[in-house]
Structure 1
């Protein structure tokens, strides 16, 4: 699905899912994304996220790596194995900034890796880099 992205940082109408077991991270991301015009969905872990994804079909997904039950790597791999969502960009979120973590994120299919705490510009930049734009 092509989603228009304006050059001025207005991301109106874009559906973004933030998966993180930290309420603070979810709230921070939600606040920043809503100010940019995004519709924000949240989930506390991978299991909850899978049902939100199936119901809502987000345009882009941010997923924390360290979560209970189903971690970010497992969640990303499941998303990418599903034909309906394999082209949905997945951005990994982590407080760890190691080469191994970044490589593992790529292996399971993530498009990018953001280190927490992330800035507004990093969050919005990741969206602009990975969501297809229409002219």
Structure 2
């Protein structure tokens, strides 16, 4: 249990049009001490990202209006967030999808349904790498 608590205070944004995915990610992250910002799609995320300045962002690929690729590209083009880790979430696990995610600047690719462990491991990996710990 104590190793989960090392995420205390980490600000995590979850962008997904599925309420179920947002809620399960939120529950996993809150239990490990993270602050969670939820967004329903890319537009919602872009409105919140400047206010909350998350440490790490999970973004679903298949969303209405702005998809995950467009959202990631917008985040990475912003000088303030260019170094913020962005992890793509998708039920598609194809090579093309992964490559396209890399092309727009994503740092990792998690396949849905994700587990609590894979979600927290991604947060741990990308936030400790940034802080130099």
TM bucket, shorter chain: over 0.9
**Distance in 2 separating the partners of 1:122 and 1:73:** 21
TM-score by length of 2: 0.94
Q: Which of the residues 60, 63, 85 maps onto 2:56?
A: 60
Local SS of the residue matching 1:58: coil
Relative contact order, CA 8 A, sep 6+: which one is greater? 1
Partner residue in 2 for 1:8:
3
**Distance in 1 separating the partners of 2:102 and 2:19:** 26
Query: What is the deviation of 1:134?
Result: 5.1
**Distance in 2 separating the partners of 1:25 and 1:81:** 26
What is the Cα-based RMSD across aligned positions, in Å?
1.1
**Distance in 1 separating the partners of 2:8 and 2:101:** 28
Local SS of the residue matching 2:80: coil
| Residue-by-residue CA offset, 1:68-88 (whole Å, 9 max, x unaligned) | 000000000000000000000
Query: What is the deviation of 1:128?
Result: 1.1
**Distance in 1 separating the partners of 2:66 and 2:122:** 23
**Distance in 2 separating the partners of 1:34 and 1:91:** 18
Q: Which runs of 5+ in 2 are unaligned?
A: none
**Distance in 2 separating the partners of 1:92 and 1:112:** 6
**Count of matched residue pairs:** 129
Q: Which runs of 5+ in 1 are unaligned?
A: 1-6
User: Structure 1 stretches (4+) deviating beyond 6 angstroms?
Assistant: none
Partner residue in 2 for 1:129:
125
Query: What is the deviation of 1:129?
Result: 1.2
Q: Which of the residues 37, 50, 55 maps onto 1:41?
A: 37
Partner residue in 1 for 2:14:
18
**Distance in 1 separating the partners of 2:96 and 2:124:** 26
TM-score by length of 1: 0.93
Local SS of the residue matching 2:131: coil
